[in-house]
Amino acid sequence: MTLADLTRVDFEIHLHGVFQVEAEGYGTLTLELVEAIDLGVGTAKPDGRQPFSLIFRGPSEPVLAQQVCRLTHHVMGGLDLFIVPLGPDGSGGTRYEAVFA
């Protein structure tokens, strides 16, 4: 399965699951998938996929820079995702977002 084939539902079943992140200059970090959000009805691509967003929670330090990272999940395998730091999550961690438009 390619990134273009993935939908929100593919990730939603792994909510609160752990993803290992390999980021250049940071080593390996653990992120938890905390949200899978639809980004609007009626904006589907010609193939029918709705845009969606994933929100991950990671440690407070280090904060990853906006970049493409290799995320690995024990069921989904490896995915190269562009993640953007959103800032502190209020619980001692950092939130990150990956958007599938």
Split into its structural domains, the chain has a count of 1
Q: How many other C-beta atoms can be found within 10 angstroms of the C-beta atom of residue 42? A: 5
- Expressed as residue numbers, the domain containing 86 is 3-92
pLDDT number for residue 57: 98
Is 12 within the bounds of a domain?
A: yes
Is 84 within the bounds of a domain?
A: yes
pLDDT number for residue 46: 61
pLDDT number for residue 79: 95
- Answer whether 35's CB lies under 8 Å from 14's CB: no
Q: What is the pLDDT of residues 16-68, one digit of tens each?
A: 999 999 887 888 999 999 999 998 766 656 666 789 999 999 999 999 999 99
pTM of the shown model: 0.90
Is 17 within the bounds of a domain?
A: yes
Q: How many residues does the chain have?
A: 101
Task: Indicate the helix (H) or strand (E) that contains 69.
Answer: strand 67-73
